A and B are shown apart, each in its own frame.
Chain A
Amino acid sequence: MRTLTLLLLVTLLAACATVSTQKMESGDRSLGERMVVNLDAAWNKVALPNTGPAQTWTMEGLPVDQLLIYSGVKDGEVIHGTVFGSKLKSFAFRSAMQPDEIVAMFEGMLTRDGSAFKLVKLEPSSFGGAKGLRFEYSVIRKVDNVRLSGVGYASVNGGELFAMVYSAPQLGFFPRHQANVQQIAQSARISLKPGGGMGEGTRKPAAAQPEPACRTQAECRALGINQK
């Protein structure tokens, strides 16, 4: 019995450590039920254990560069892998998130290991045919102090999140693959559902009755609001 238990344990541990790679050839690729992208170049899809809802792709191999692709993340779903008993904060998608909150969620995910994140640019952009956002960022990776550049694209449709987040070392690798990533993002097509766009999800009411924006002249001046 003891031998059997040990054998089962070893098998389980081996399964946990399994990492498989699949080549993603150029052409149209379906990602989940509702998103299709077109690839100009081949990528490597890495199947890692416990990585959450994202597909992980790489050109150079992990951990050099990493493209995370999210297709149809549901309200309340955590966007990264979680380890049972982990003390680290989890970051989950909420369908009512505004663009800056979506960026903050990815920032939280990318800095769970203590890395430092800096937002470089956030702009409106369509992704997959839906109204969305594009953001650029830099990260200093805690584990090795490597400076990374990154770009992200996201949109929300039918209350689900679709996104791509790419990070690679600033020197050499990011500039080398940036155009490829942009091409994939521009090729993305989502089977759109009516409603449930970015920031349109239901958020619990903030207040029963809206209050005046300012109460005194001094407060209104400080807030830049003209009183009538």
Chain B
Amino acid sequence: MPARFSRPDIGTDEGGLWAMMDREETRLRRSPFNLRDPQLQAHVQEMACRLAGEHCPDIRVHLVRTPYFNASMAPNGMMQVWSGLMLRADNEAQLAAVLGHEIGHYLARHSVERLRDAKSRTAFGQFLGMFGVVGLIGQMGVIASMFAYSREHERAADRIGAILMQQAGYDLTEAPKVWANLLLEANARPGGRERNPLFATHPAQEDRQAALAELAAKFQGGVANDAEWQARIQPHLRDWLNEEVKRGQHEESLAFLNRASGRAMGKPDYLCARGEVYRLRGGETDLQAALDDFRAAAALGNEPPETHRGLGMIYRQQKRGAEAKASFDRYLELAPQAPDVLMIRSYLEELRA
């Protein structure tokens, strides 16, 4: 592992990049997208520290409320972890795989090489997007990731990340699963992986999985911490799932939710979210699938109130008045302050008429 990096001279291109990232970090600290959960932040920071070893004091983790799978690390030590990634990680080891990968880029100083590649102004804007600097370029990091590290850099970061994971005591067999899960989502999307910018520049996912699986076979052992991680994200689960549903990427969401609904914790929340995705997609068999999920969520108990709203909406469409009324009544009982209370009451009046 290299020694800790010292701040480059401001007169150099790297020094200028650090200064820009410092300003972005100040902006991020004040941003309403900054997820203000000190406990979760401290935990992910501690994970990054376990992975980064002596570089720990230089790495600052920021949790960002954005429902896409992404993490990034700027050369000044600013690490962003998006809520879409935290939602998708089945356990701490999977999150550690992504954090370790980003720390790998940082330790190998890949960003400096890429900076020098980004000759044109346009490319520079996209280059900044690699670190989630969306304000400066006015576009999502997910688009900006079209300008990404080279395949060689990605492979190197995978290798470094795997070593860091192993040294930190995480189960390395979880690393290839991250990419397998992401591939499932990408392939589910209309147009498949070709439409996902993440796969435009990253190594073939099958190769990546195979390389990581090979490393995992060499370094066995370590912890995954499924239950611990799921408990940590529980306070945010409903918000994050709501944001996931509202992305409108129904096929990707279903690929994720089909997997996540098997998790031990929060099952009614995942089922309700999947039901809502089916309901909003509204295909030939979707309403029945939505009904099944909503009903299963309600049967488990501790379901989100929206479970009953979803049921009520479907029953109303199917002209099943008694069931619709019962579901809407239950929804209003569980969520009397919901923003759509007046709309639901109008449905109830219509059903009584």
Contacts and interface: CB of A to CB of B under 8 A. Distances in A.
Given A96-B282, A207-B287, A224-B330, 17 more contacts: A87-B143, A114-B140, A116-B243, A119-B340, A121-B339, A143-B134, A143-B135, A145-B30, A145-B33, A199-B317, A204-B284, A206-B288, A210-B320, A213-B315, A213-B323, A222-B303, A224-B308
A89 B326 contact: no
Given A104-B246, A214-B295, A142 B313 contact: no
A108 B253 CA distance: 14
Interface of A: 87-89, 91, 94, 96, 98-101, 104, 107-108, 111, 113-114, 116-117, 119-124, 133, 140, 142-145, 147, 199, 203-207, 210-211, 213-214, 218-219, 222-226
B226 interface: no
B317 A203 contact: yes
Contact of B339 (A120, A204, A211): A120
Contact of B134 (A91, A96, A114, A116): A114
A122 B339 contact: yes
B33 A206 contact: no
A88 B285 CA distance: 25
A114 B342 CA distance: 29
Contacts of A222: 298-299, 301, 303
Interface in B289-346: 291, 295, 298-299, 301, 303, 308, 311, 313-315, 317-318, 320, 322-323, 326-327, 329-330, 333, 339-340, 342-343, 346
B313 A204 contact: no
Interface in B31-51: 31-33
B328 to A, nearest CB: 10
A46 to B, nearest CB: 18
B340 A223 contact: no
Nearest to B134: A142
Nearest to B197: A87
Given A114-B66, A210-B320, A213-B320, A100 B299 contact: no
Contacts of B139: 113, 143
B187 interface: no
Contact of A206 (B30, B142, B286, B333): B286
Contacts of A121: 339-340, 342
Interface residues on B, range: 35 or more
Nearest to B307: A223
B283 interface: yes
Contact of B135 (A87, A145, A207): A145
B138 interface: yes
B343 A100 contact: yes
Nearest to B278: A206
A213 B288 CA distance: 11
A213 B308 CA distance: 12
A140 B291 CA distance: 33
B149 to A, nearest CB: 18
Nearest to A205: B284
Contacts of B311: 213, 223
Contacts of B333: 224
A181 to B, nearest CB: 19
Nearest to B67: A114
B142 A87 contact: yes
Of A87, A111, A117, the most chain B CB neighbours within 10 A belong to A87
28 contacts: A87-B142, A87-B196, A87-B197, A91-B248, A104-B246, A108-B248, A114-B66, A114-B142, A117-B246, A121-B340, A142-B66, A145-B27, A145-B30, A145-B32, A204-B282, A204-B284, A206-B286, A207-B291, A213-B326, A219-B299, A222-B299, A223-B295, A223-B298, A223-B299, A223-B326, A223-B327, A225-B326, A225-B327
B317 A124 contact: no
B261 interface: no
B31 A116 contact: no
Closest 4 pairs between A and B when the two form their complex, measured CB to CB: A206-B287, A224-B330, A123-B342, A122-B340
Contacts of B143: 87-88
A145 B31 contact: yes
A224 B246 contact: no
B273 to A, nearest CB: 13
A140 B32 contact: yes
Nearest to A224: B330
B29 to A, nearest CB: 11
A176 to B, nearest CB: 22
A206 B342 CA distance: 27
